[in-house]
Amino acid sequence: MASGVPEHEVWAAADAVLARGERPTVERVRTELGRGSPARVGQLLEQWWEQLAQRLKGHALLPELPGEVAQAFAEAWRLALSHAGTIAEEALIEQQNTRIAERTSLTQERKLWEVALAAAQADLAETTNKLIQAELQLAERQGLIDQLAAEVVDGRQQRDHLQAQLERRDVELDVLRTDYSVAQVHIRTAEDRAHQQVDQVR
């Protein structure tokens, strides 16, 4: 016999699972036992099914009973097993329906998230385009500001140059006025002398 959980414990656990109206499976028997490897339990469970067939026929469990009683008991076991199988199938169908409903819900939720993601990506793209346009406009305006600043500097330089020229012209004008005044003094002096000489000649 292979090492591990004893076969009588596995069979007893399978009987307990079947008595609850559930179909004995490897996982249910292991849960009932609280231990045992899947391979070991699976091997012994196959033997249990073989023994169960003999037990239902009344050869192993009830050899001392009359054939009709054994057959009736076997029929009761068959009905119980069929009922357990039906319950198990209904539970399996319900579980499958639950999974289908969950999968459908997850699919719908995924579609909603995909729509929301697409909308968010579209908003992001639009915002990015607006940001790029704003940066281009800002760069253009900055270029105009730099151009105006350069023109202001050039205008100030021209103003300073014209101011210097004006100041030089003012100085030159003052010199010319002084020279004009001196010339007028000389002319008046000359005229006075001329008048005096005329008077003397007379």
> pLDDT tens digits, residue range 136-182?
998 899 988 899 888 988 889 999 888 888 889 888 888 888 988 88
Residue 95 lies in a domain: yes
Token code pair at residue 60: 């192993």
* Rounded Cα–Cα distance for residues 83 and 102 (Å): 28
Residue 86 lies in a domain: yes
Residue 178 lies in a domain: no
- C-alpha separations of 85 from 27, 49, 88, 93 in Å: 16, 14, 5, 12
* Rounded Cα–Cα distance for residues 131 and 151 (Å): 30
The pTM is what?
A: 0.35
Residue 145 lies in a domain: no
Residue 41 lies in a domain: yes
Residue 126 lies in a domain: no
- Residues 92-135 pLDDT 10s: 788 889 889 889 988 999 999 999 999 999 999 999 999 899 89
Neighbours of 40 (CB within 10 A): 18
Parent domain of 97: 7-114
Residue 22 lies in a domain: yes
Q: Does residue 18 contact residue 24 with C-beta atoms inside 8 Å? A: yes
Residue 58 lies in a domain: yes
- Domain count for the chain: 1
* Rounded Cα–Cα distance for residues 37 and 34 (Å): 10
